[in-house]
Chains A and B, each alone.
Chain A
Amino acid sequence: GAGVSQSPSNKVTEKGKDVELRCDPISGHTALYWYRQRLGQGLEFLIYFQGNSAPDKSGLPSDRFSAERTGESVSTLTIQRTQQEDSAVYLCASSPAVQAYGYTFGSGTRLTVV
Chain B
Amino acid sequence: QKEVEQNSGPLSVPEGAIASLNCTYSDRGSQSFFWYRQYSGKSPELIMSIYSNGDKEDGRFTAQLNKASQYVSLLIRDSQPSDSATYLCAEYSGGGADGLTFGKGTHLIIQP
Question: Contact at B101–A102, with CB atoms within 8 Å?
Answer: no
B31 at interface, CB cutoff 8 A: yes
Question: Contact at B105–A42, with CB atoms within 8 Å?
Answer: yes
Number of residue pairs spanning A and B whose beta carbons lie under 8 angstroms apart: 53
Shortest distance from the beta carbon of B96 to any chain A beta carbon, whole Å: 4
Chain B, interface size: which category?
20 to 34
Chain A, interface size: which category?
20 to 34
Residues of A within 8 A of B104 (CB): 41-42
A104 at interface, CB cutoff 8 A: yes
Question: Contact at A50–B102, with CB atoms within 8 Å?
Answer: no
Question: Contact at A105–B45, with CB atoms within 8 Å?
Answer: yes
7 A-B pairs with least C-beta separation:
A100-B32, A42-B104, A98-B96, A102-B46, A105-B43, A43-B102, A56-B97
Which residues of B are interface residues toward A (Cβ below 8 A)?
A: 31-32, 34, 36, 42-46, 49, 51, 88, 92, 94, 96-105
